[in-house]
Amino acid sequence: MSRAARFLLPVLALLAVPAPAAVAAEELAVSAGRIQADAHGGRIVWSQLDPTTGEWELVEHRDGRTRLLKGAIASRTPLRVDVGPGPDGKPVAVYARNGDLFLYDFDRRKERELVEFEAAGASESLPAIWRNTLVFSRRTASGFDLWSGRIGTGRLAKLPEGPVNGVSGPIATEIVGSRIAYVWSSGRGDREGTETGLYEVRDGRAVRRDRTVSGALSSTTLITPEIGGGFIHYGRVTRGSGTGNQFRRVSLKSGRVEAVRAPAKGMVTALFSAGRFLWSRVVESEETQPGPGECGLRGEAPVTESVCRLVRTAKVTGWTRVGRAR
């Protein structure tokens, strides 16, 4: 379902980051379009392209089976889904469609529009849920803002944001309990490229936990932050020159950043759940035999076929320190 924090690190430390103990241990799904998943309470959920209709439908992987989520309206574009406990503590999914926010109830097998968060002339996206609290992005004519809202009442609190230089805004959000994290991308003033930061909201401030910078020769971003076990886990994706992809984690207590090598380039999901990463991959160059986890184009343009795979790694071990949050 979609993509996009740099940390200044010694080259030798980056080269020393080991690969995970095992790479692709289990393939969970194959899709005709890219997969961006989320998980909670034993469910893995994503939107999957139906090539016969050209629409994206919500599906879940649970108890070893993948099934269509009935009652969710199909979308003409991929849905970025967040799964978490709803107001009653039971798992729900939230997502944006056509600039509006929706909540899917797994027990009732139906969705409802979160109209309490709609604003005239605005477009909402990137929702994340924990009980009665929803974190989301709102875009207006003046740019992007981050908000925390109360489900049912619509009461809002504006969240502190990352730097605003050039085109700036969030590319991922996360909430667990009272902890909120997000990834924020911004321009670099009169310099080339963009800066992407992983931030934690603490004591009313945005505390940067990791950072990447993209320039003319390479593009580096952070993706899919997950809070749990005293860490924020996430992926670091690099294109062009420089080091390869990494799975990363930063300690919420000490700020220590650790990493293991990710198994492929072009990740769009690097979701940490139960000691493992769920990852999917996009390959921009044409390949006739995509490897595990790839999402690539086959054939000559304009006739193309997109193939994506969602893969779960073995338990991740061998974390190596690569620096501290700054």
Give tens-digit pLDDT for 149-158: 999 999 999 9
Statement: residue 16 has pLDDT above 50: no
Range of the domain at 230: 11-324
Picking from 37-51, 81-95, 132-146, 268-282, which range would have the lowest pLDDT averaged per residue? Answer: 268-282
Give the number of domains in the chain: 1
Report which secondary-structure segment, H or E, holds 12.
helix 11-15
Evaluate whether residue 5 is within a structural domain.
no
- Over residues 104-151, the pLDDT tens digits come to 999 999 999 999 999 999 999 999 999 999 999 999 999 999 999 999
Q: Please name the residue that has the structure tokens 């990463």.
A: 277
- Whether 220 has a pLDDT exceeding 80, the answer reads yes
Whether 20 maps to a domain, the answer reads: yes
Higher pLDDT, 66 or 15: 66
Percent of the chain with pLDDT over 90: 60
- Residue 243 confidence (pLDDT): 64
pLDDT digits (tens, 9 = 90+) for 175-209: 999 999 999 999 865 566 889 999 999 999 999 99
- Is residue 9 scored above 90 in pLDDT? no
Q: Pick the range with the lowest mean pLDDT from 90-104, 110-124, 295-309.
A: 295-309
Give 172 or 26, the one with higher predicted confidence: 172
**CA distance to 22, 187, 259, per residue, from 316 (Å):** 7, 34, 10
Q: What is the largest distance, in Å, between two alpha-carbon atoms of the chain?
A: 53
Confidence of residue 35 (pLDDT cuts 50, 70, 90): confident
Query: Does residue 210 form part of some domain?
Result: yes
Q: Which residues of 54-72 are buried (b: 16+ CB within 10 A; e: fewer)?
A: eebbbbbbeeeeeeebeeb
In the predicted structure, residue 86 carries a pLDDT above the cut 80: yes
Domain assignment present for 2: no
Query: Residue 4 falls within a domain, yes or no?
Result: no
The residue that leads in pLDDT, 102 or 36, is 102
Give the whole-angstrom CA distance, residue 83 versus residue 62: 13
Global pTM value: 0.86
In a domain, 6, yes or no: no
Q: Is residue 286 part of a domain?
A: yes
In a domain, 138, yes or no: yes
Instruction: Report whether pLDDT(302) > 90.
Output: no
pLDDT band at 224, cuts 50/70/90?
Answer: very high
Which CATH number does the domain housing residue 223 bear?
Answer: 2.120.10.30
